[in-house]
Amino acid sequence: MANLSSWNELRSGYGCPLCLPRPEIDLRAFFVCKLQASTLYLDRNQAYRGACIAIYDVRHATRPSELDPAEWRAFSDDVRVAESAVTRAFSPDHVNIEILGNTVPHLHVGIMPRYRSDPRWGHPIWTTSRDELARVPATDQQCAEIARLLQDAVAVIAGPD
Ligand SMILES: [Zn+2]
């Protein structure tokens, strides 16, 4: 967890690692596709197969209340498309939709497929300590394969441009 002064700077957008451009995002995430108001990335931790994140692209914002209604509708629709794509591609038993922003306060939504066989079925994936989180790092090739499945699903759900 960032200390309070650096968190306050991030909250204001200063030095925000999730504002565009995102030169280091590939260290933790793998580009899937551009959506209406966000970009979808695959989480490189694939302990929950298909886990991805939609990061708001339009500007720095931390919470939904900072978007006007049209911006929120566009971003919400992106989340609907992403969750639908994950469901279509991976047939999870459930999907958790998460907006936390505790570490990086730039509006982003985690789309976490859940499976009856997953390490924390019946509970949030989050644990008190990050060290306790289940981790299954994915290779570039695995990320590319999973991203392709999601891209195909988004194309079906979102339809032609
Ligand atoms: Zn930002």
Least confident segment among 13-27, 112-126, 132-146? 13-27
pLDDT tens-digit map of 89-111? 999 999 999 999 988 999 999 99
Beta bridge partners of 45: 137
The predicted pLDDT at position 134 comes to 84
Residue 18 Cα to ligand 1 middle (Å): 5
* 106 Cα to the center of ligand 1, angstroms: 5
Q: Give the CA count within 13 Å in the CB-facing half-sphere of 92.
A: 20
Q: How many CA atoms lie within 13 A of 24 on its CB side?
A: 5
Q: What is the mean pLDDT of residues 4-18?
A: 89
**From CA 94, how far away is CA 15, in angstroms rounded?**
35
Domains and CATH numbers, the chain: 4-158 (3.30.428.10)
- Ligand 1 midpoint to CA 1 (Å): 17
